[in-house]
Amino acid sequence: MQDSDSIQVQLSHEEGVVRLRVANKTTNEDETYFVDPIQFTLDPAVFNSDIEDDFAILRKVGDTYYAVPYLVKDDKFVITTRHAGDYVYVKNDRAFNDIAGLYSEDYILELAKRGIINGVDQFVYNPNASIS
């Protein structure tokens, strides 16, 4: 539990999902969006896992997953977000067969792993296509 002058932050986890709850100390109501980002650290053990190359943390809203800015420091995830809610550790093993040898191959795979970009399908990225 982390506190500031106006909010109280609580993390809980169950079955591979980490729930970030942020409450306004004055009203005790849940906050879902923050003007100033909140940063929190997670040990991968809460997901019953070690940090692996083809896994990423995403924010889950209903059936939709959103990319989350994070970095790995001292074998822990450091997540920066403006949203309370559920965070999941997911395997995203894209294997685009049309980017091998490109200078940008590692960057494309990292962005795809984090759910920031998608290819045409799981195996085709089409690196020469226009971005929209």
- Under the banding of pLDDT at 50, 70 and 90, the label for residue 1 is very low
Structure tokens at 8: 């109280």
- Collect all residues with Cβ–Cβ distance below 8 Å to 121 and sequence separation of at least 6: none
The string of DSSP letters for 39-73 reads EEEE-GGGGTS---TTEEEEEEETTEEEE--EEEE
pLDDT score of 50 more than 60: yes
- In the chain, % of residues over pLDDT 90: 13
pLDDT score of 11 more than 80: no
pLDDT score of 116 more than 60: yes
pLDDT score of 106 more than 50: yes
What is the pairing mode between strands 30-31 and 17-24? Answer: antiparallel
- Under the banding of pLDDT at 50, 70 and 90, the label for residue 3 is very low
Q: How far is CA 101 from CA 3, 104, 105, 107, in A?
A: 48, 8, 7, 12
Q: How many helices (H) and strands (E) does the chain have?
A: 1, 10
pLDDT score of 29 more than 80: no
pLDDT score of 70 more than 90: no
Structure tokens at 76: 């822990």
CA distance 67 to 52: 17
- Under the banding of pLDDT at 50, 70 and 90, the label for residue 104 is very high
Structure tokens at 113: 């792993």
Kindly report which listed range (19-23, 28-32, 51-55, 63-67) carries the lowest average pLDDT score.
Answer: 51-55
